[in-house]
């Protein structure tokens, strides 16, 4: 389960919303300093700008950007000027592709070959498919992949000579020089066998869809094969026709069968494939693969309960393996963090050592190990969290990483020597930074924001010095400056149980401490997540400000289970999700009631996804402390959610039935107090609408009055067209009427 706002990067969230919002754009000119829902959700006037399809060029002297409907242009890093058009679409034989639909592109190693993707269609969170045109820039020759059928993940081999892609669950390789295409697998079948792409649950919970990896020399291609034929099938109805269509897909709910996953290695020279020998236990996960060398593949395995991870080195010729490292935990081990991109490993090429991220001392840190699994050194000791390894420059003896050393509410880029003896902070502006390095590691793009800064993108050299500012969002800052808004206040709350929680608060700009104010609390609260960050919150922030203009205080705390504060705080909720989180949210409401400027009878709460789950618990197990609650796309019964996420934090239902049932809102409908608004999209492939339908049944059976609304065919994000505007209009009305 991923927070709809903070998954990966806020840029992904913005891009997702723009798909539905931009076609409806109109010019809204606020007559005064008051914020309206139309301005937030229909005009796009509060959306930050970001570089358009930015790509580094190989020589570290240039970068390229897509000029929609026109060309791919090259820019000089030093002069900041546009140099030329690398590809002019009007000069190409586009094979019938509408120029306006070209949305993505990628260059091969020598940058002569490239691929253009058009009519890109999103599948799930990380997956998509589109029409792909292969281009030879030397002679403007073009070729449609798969005769114009939509394919997924077109990926160049490191030598730039070949392109691998997935079509209809099979893996293919196309050779640029000859145009010859080789079909690597033939057994792909919907809802049965998937080659080279992750199944639904891997994609959602291990944060990737492309499940194939080129070796560095381009002579081997490793891929995962998912046999999901025994995985139970979920049916989702799609409305809009005389007879609604059924979308059937494999979805393993907690305690049910997972896909059988195997590792295969294809050799280009002999057009042959071998299966790697991984484990005698088939009920495991294979969340990560990486090439150690052209002849050796690293395979990471994770047991079903996700408390033991093993790293194997697999011989690419024979498929045999040896164990490099094993790590265990008395709770669980995270492989990927959907918010920061935490990865567990990085293999050195000039040494047989590798870097491994572990929290064995209570905080995420980078450890250096030998290939025999012997610990060399903890490179980043201290009571802070390393969020991710950003880049490694062996030639210059540098390792770049993100961490919370400055503050658990911020993320900053650091560089240190590979032995950990020297380090330096490279980002100096307060906030959350998201750096991306150039191919040669000479430069990096730094996109950062704060609670008051909607987003700046700068180009820096690898010493952290700003070369140029690419995006300032001056227009948005100017717009915000005209509004009657209040700064976000960061605070810490110590509960009656002596637990200190990070929080933020937005008060009305004309706040009068002598008056009583209603409070709306916002929550997410899921394991490892942070809502209390010094970063830009996007459109929600403007909605909170709009409510503040109407006299409301808006507040948020990160309960126990949240990230950024170490293993003990994050795993406190294991294996009893919802229990401590509810206690902490209720404790926050009680703290608010004690403030002289709060109306103790007018405290509400709302959340989305895990936040909707937590809202539902607070409204049922909170003993009436909340006057109202809005639950959007909530889990109401953990038995309905997927294996990887749910079992990581709760174990299986067979091993821990009480952990599932004692904090699933569906079992406490009779305890509902206050006004409750339940919202869900019927096309939610993630948290199925089944959760809300069964919550409705439980509430009706308990004779509890409530409000509900369902958005036909909308997924977990509930967006597209006027949908998000419609949703927030209903939510606003509910707050105004009930709080």
CA angle, residues 530, 532, 534, in degrees to nearest 5: 110
Task: Tell me how far apart the alpha carbons of residues 145 and 114 are, in angstroms, rounded to a whole number.
Answer: 12
| Phi, then psi, of 244 in degrees rounded to 5 | -55, 140
What average pLDDT score do residues 497-518 get? 97
Question: Cis omega before residue 575 (within 30°)?
Answer: yes
Query: Minimal CA–CA distance to 526: which of 563, 492, 495?
Result: 563
Q: pLDDT tens digit string along 657-669?
A: 999 999 999 999 9
C-alpha dist (Å) from residue 628 to 33, 292, 405, 669, 696: 28, 54, 38, 15, 17
- Residue 591 confidence class, pLDDT cut points 50, 70, 90: very high
Order of all β-strands in the sheet with 284-293: 284-293, 296-303, 308-315, 321-328
**CB-CB contact of 460 with 443 (8 Å):** yes
Handedness of CA 80, 13, 409, 473 (dihedral sign): positive
Order of all β-strands in the sheet with 55-56: 55-56, 62-67, 71-76, 82-88
Percentage of the chain exceeding pLDDT 90: 92
Whole-number pLDDT of residue 8: 32
Which of 11-25, 372-386, 456-470, 525-539 shows the lowest per-residue confidence on average (mean pLDDT)? 11-25
Task: Tell me how far apart the alpha carbons of residues 536 and 551 are, in angstroms, rounded to a whole number.
Answer: 22
Whole-number pLDDT of residue 21: 45
Structure-block tokens of residue 413: 């880029």
What average pLDDT score do residues 672-696 get? 98
DSSP single-letter state for residue 145: G
What average pLDDT score do residues 206-220 get? 97
- Name every residue whose Cβ is closer than 8 Å to that of residue 709 and which is 6 or more positions away in sequence: 677, 678, 679, 727, 730
Whole-number pLDDT of residue 556: 98
- Name every residue whose Cβ is closer than 8 Å to that of residue 700 and which is 6 or more positions away in sequence: none
CA angle, residues 502, 569, 449, in degrees to nearest 5: 45
Query: Minimal CA–CA distance to 645: which of 194, 360, 334, 363?
Result: 334
pLDDT over 80 at 80, yes or no: no
Would you state the torsion angle of the CA atoms of residues 566, 568, 571, 575, taken in this order, to the nearest 10 degrees?
Answer: 180
- Name every residue whose Cβ is closer than 8 Å to that of residue 469 and which is 6 or more positions away in sequence: 456, 457, 458, 459
Task: Tell me how far apart the alpha carbons of residues 293 and 347 are, in angstroms, rounded to a whole number.
Answer: 9
**CB-CB contact of 298 with 309 (8 Å):** no
Whole-number pLDDT of residue 50: 83
pLDDT over 60 at 18, yes or no: no
C-alpha dist (Å) from residue 505 to 47, 523, 624: 22, 12, 22
pLDDT over 70 at 624, yes or no: yes
CATH architecture label of 50-183 = 7 Propeller (2.130)
- Residue 197 confidence class, pLDDT cut points 50, 70, 90: very high
Whole-number pLDDT of residue 201: 98
Task: Tell me how far apart the alpha carbons of residues 438 and 447 are, in angstroms, rounded to a whole number.
Answer: 14
- Residue 339 confidence class, pLDDT cut points 50, 70, 90: low
Task: Tell me how far apart the alpha carbons of residues 84 and 147 are, in angstroms, rounded to a whole number.
Answer: 31
What average pLDDT score do residues 342-347 get? 86
Tell which wins on pLDDT, 11 or 589: 589
pLDDT over 70 at 366, yes or no: yes
Q: pLDDT tens digit string along 131-146?
A: 999 999 999 999 999 9
CA angle, residues 609, 328, 195, in degrees to nearest 5: 60
Q: pLDDT tens digit string along 508-532?
A: 999 999 999 999 999 999 999 999 9
- Report if pTM > 0.75: yes
pLDDT over 80 at 602, yes or no: yes
- Residue 32 confidence class, pLDDT cut points 50, 70, 90: confident
CATH architecture label of 10-47+481-738 = 3-Layer(aba) Sandwich (3.40)
**End-to-end distance of the chain based on CA atoms, in angstroms?**
29
Q: Tell me what the pLDDT averaged over the chain comes to.
A: 94
Whole-number pLDDT of residue 31: 53
Q: pLDDT tens digit string along 33-60?
A: 999 999 999 999 999 998 777 899 999 9
Query: Minimal CA–CA distance to 451: which of 537, 572, 370?
Result: 537
Q: pLDDT tens digit string along 540-586?
A: 999 999 999 999 999 999 999 999 999 999 999 999 999 999 999 99
Task: Tell me how far apart the alpha carbons of residues 209 and 192 are, in angstroms, rounded to a whole number.
Answer: 17
What average pLDDT score do residues 379-395 get? 96
Domain ranges of the chain: 10-47+481-738, 50-183
pLDDT over 60 at 291, yes or no: yes
> Which H/E stretch holds residue 167?
strand 162-167
**Mind spelling out the 3-state secondary structure of 431-481?**
CEEEEEECCCCCEEEEEEECCCCCCEEEEEECCCCEEEEEECCHHHHHHHH
Task: Tell me how far apart the alpha carbons of residues 351 and 332 are, in angstroms, rounded to a whole number.
Answer: 30
- Residue 721 confidence class, pLDDT cut points 50, 70, 90: very high
């Amino acid at each position: 389960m991923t927070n709809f706002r903070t998954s990966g990067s806020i840029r992904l969230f913005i891009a997702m919303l723009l798909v539905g919002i931009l076609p409806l754009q109109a010019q809204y000119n606020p007559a005064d300093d008051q914020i309206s829902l139309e301005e937030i959700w229909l005009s796009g006037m509060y959306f930050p700008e970001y570089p358009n399809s930015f790509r580094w060029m190989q020589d570290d002297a240039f970068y390229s950007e897509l000029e929609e409907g026109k060309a791919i242009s090259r820019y000089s890093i030093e002069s900041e000027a546009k140099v030329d058009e690398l590809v002019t679409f009007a000069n190409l034989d586009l094979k019938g592709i509408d120029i306006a639909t070209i949305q993505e592109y990628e260059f091969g190693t020598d940058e002569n070959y490239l691929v253009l993707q058009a009519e890109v269609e999103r599948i799930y969170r990380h997956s998509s498919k589109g029409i792909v045109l292969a281009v030879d820039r030397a002679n403007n020759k073009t070729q449609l992949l798969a005769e114009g059928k939509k394919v997924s993940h077109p990926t160049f081999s490191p030598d730039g000579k070949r392109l691998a892609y997935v079509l209809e669950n099979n893996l293919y390789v196309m050779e640029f020089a000859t145009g010859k295409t080789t079909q690597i697998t033939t057994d792909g079948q919907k809802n049965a066998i998937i080659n080279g792409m992750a199944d639904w649950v891997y994609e959602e919970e291990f944060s990737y869809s492309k499940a194939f990896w080129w070796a560095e020399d381009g002579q081997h291609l490793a891929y995962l094969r998912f046999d999901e034929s025994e995985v139970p099938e979920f049916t989702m109805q799609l409305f809009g026709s005389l007879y609604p269509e059924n979308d059937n897909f494999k979805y393993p709910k907690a305690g049910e069968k997972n896909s059988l996953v195997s590792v295969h290695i294809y050799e280009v020279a002999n057009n042959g494939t071998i299966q790697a020998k991984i484990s005698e236990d088939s009920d495991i996960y294979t969340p990560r693969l990486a090439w150690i060398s052209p002849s050796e593949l690293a395979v990471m395995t994770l047991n079903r309960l996700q408390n033991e991870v093993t790293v194997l080195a697999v011989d690419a010729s024979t498929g045999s393996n040896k164990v490099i490292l094993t790590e265990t935990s008395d709770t669980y081990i995270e492989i990927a963090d959907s918010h920061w991109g935490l990865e567990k490993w990085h293999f050195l090429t000039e040494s047989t050592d590798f870097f491994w991220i572990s929290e064995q001392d209570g905080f995420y840190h980078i450890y250096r190990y030998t290939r025999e699994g012997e610990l060399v050194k903890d490179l980043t000791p201290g009571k802070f969290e390393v969020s991710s390894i950003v880049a490694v420059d062996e030639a210059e003896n540098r390792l770049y990483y993100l961490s919370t050393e400055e503050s658990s509410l911020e993320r900053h880029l650091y560089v240190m020597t590979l032995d950990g003896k020297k380090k330096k902070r490279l980002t100096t502006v307060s906030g959350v930074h998201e750096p991306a390095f150039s191919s040669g590691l000479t430069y990096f793009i730094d996109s950062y924001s704060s609670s008051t800064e909607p987003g700046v993108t700068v180009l820096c050299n690898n010493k952290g010095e700003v070369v140029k500012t690419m995006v300032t969002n001056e227009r948005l800052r100017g717009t915000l400056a005209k509004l009657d808004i209040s700064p976000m206040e960061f605070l810490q709350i110590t509960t009656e149980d002596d637990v200190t929680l990070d929080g933020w608060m937005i008060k009305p700009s004309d706040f009068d401490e002598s008056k009583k104010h209603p409070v709306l609390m916002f929550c997410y609260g899921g394991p490892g997540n942070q809502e209390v960050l010094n970063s830009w919150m996007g459109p929600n922030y403007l909605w909170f400000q709009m409510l503040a203009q109407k006299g409301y205080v808006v507040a948020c705390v990160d309960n126990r289970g949240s990230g950024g504060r170490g293993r003990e705080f994050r795993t406190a909720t294991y294996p009893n999700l919802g229990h401590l989180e509810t206690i902490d949210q209720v404790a926050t409401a009680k703290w608010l009631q004690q403030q002289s400027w709060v109306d103790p009878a007018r405290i509400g709460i709302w959340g989305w996804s895990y936040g909707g789950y937590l809202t539902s618990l607070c409204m049922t197990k909170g003993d009436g402390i909340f006057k109202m609650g809005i639950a959007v796309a909530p889990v109401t019964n953990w038995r309905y959610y997927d294996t990887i996420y749910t079992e990581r934090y709760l174990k299986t239902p067979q091993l821990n039935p009480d952990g599932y049932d004692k904090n699933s809102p569906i079992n406490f409908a009779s305890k509902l107090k206050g006004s409750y608004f339940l919202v869900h999209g019927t096309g939610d492939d993630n948290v199925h609408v089944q959760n809300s339908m069964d919550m409705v049944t439980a509430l009706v059976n308990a004779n509890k009055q409530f409000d509900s609304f369902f958005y036909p065919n909308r997924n977990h994000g509930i967006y597209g067209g006027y949908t998000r505007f419609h949703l927030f209009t209903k939510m606003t009305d509910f707050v105004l009427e009930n709080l």
